[in-house]
A and B are shown apart, each in its own frame.
Chain A
Amino acid sequence: MDPYARMKEATKWMWGLGDYREVATHLEPHAQALAHRADVRPGMEVLDVAAGNGNFAIAAAERGARVTEAAGLGIQWQEADAEELPFANDRFDVVASVFGAMFAPRPERVAAELFPVARPDGVVAMANYG
């Protein structure tokens, strides 16, 4: 098995152990701040990568966007690999990740994936720990 595939399986297992909801309450204001910074507006199409509990997805949906990720707010969840996003190029107005995509094993691959699925002049927004 590809060592990166093994690492991703192990990482998926590890992150599945915790109760992320409790941590997510601490991150929610920062997701809302990033949605504001990204200037998410009604009718925009938004992708939240490595969404966790969907803090950014929910913040974007509350601002009227159509979001690929959650339920009840016009949000569609889809499990995918952040290093191989299964979306058409130029699809999203905003592509974001709040303390999520930074954990992928090869950040340079993630960076290279985030931009093509965003439309030209669209926005890629991230919050990453230092």
Chain B
Amino acid sequence: MGDPQELRRRFEGLASSIELETGTVTFAFVSPEEGQAFWERTNPPLMALKSMLPADRYQQVRSEAASLMLKLNQTRDGRLVLDSPYLSVRARVSRRP
């Protein structure tokens, strides 16, 4: 429900007005290594993969995740800064017949 068009479709007939704003959650770490450790310590999907995959396969996932984080890094100063854009919605509930 983070896509404006999709959200309007799903709220059609339920809301009398819909106001949308975009925002960004920023996750900043002193280094890529600290960032990766944070996600491995806190991110349930990653933790589930670790508990379910063979060790070598998990290491492959870990390596690919590290590459992806570096690709998405918003800075080149040695830190890891990841931006997660999101949609904020305020919908007014329609009066019911």
Contacts and interface: CB of A to CB of B under 8 A. Distances in A.
B87 A124 contact: no
Contacts of B54: none
Q: How large is the interface on B (under 10, 10 to 19, 20 to 34, 35 or more residues)?
A: 35 or more
A30 B7 CA distance: 19
Nearest to B6: A107
A46 interface: no
B10 A18 contact: no
A124 B23 CA distance: 17
Given A26-B27, A121-B92, A128-B89, A19 B41 contact: yes
Contacts of A27: 25
Interface string A88-108: 000000000001011000011
Interface in B38-97: 38, 41-45, 47-48, 51, 84-96
Given A14-B45, A111-B11, A123 B25 contact: no
B95 A123 contact: no
A126 interface: yes
Contacts, number: 110
Contact of A130 (B3, B43, B91, B96): B3
Contact of B93 (A120, A127, A128): A120
A112 B94 CA distance: 12
B41 to A, nearest CB: 7
The 6 A-B residue pairs with the shortest CB-CB distance in the complex, in nearest-first order: A130-B2, A18-B44, A128-B2, A115-B14, A17-B47, A111-B10
Interface of A: 13-20, 22-23, 26-27, 30, 33-34, 37-38, 99, 101-102, 107-108, 111-112, 115, 118-130
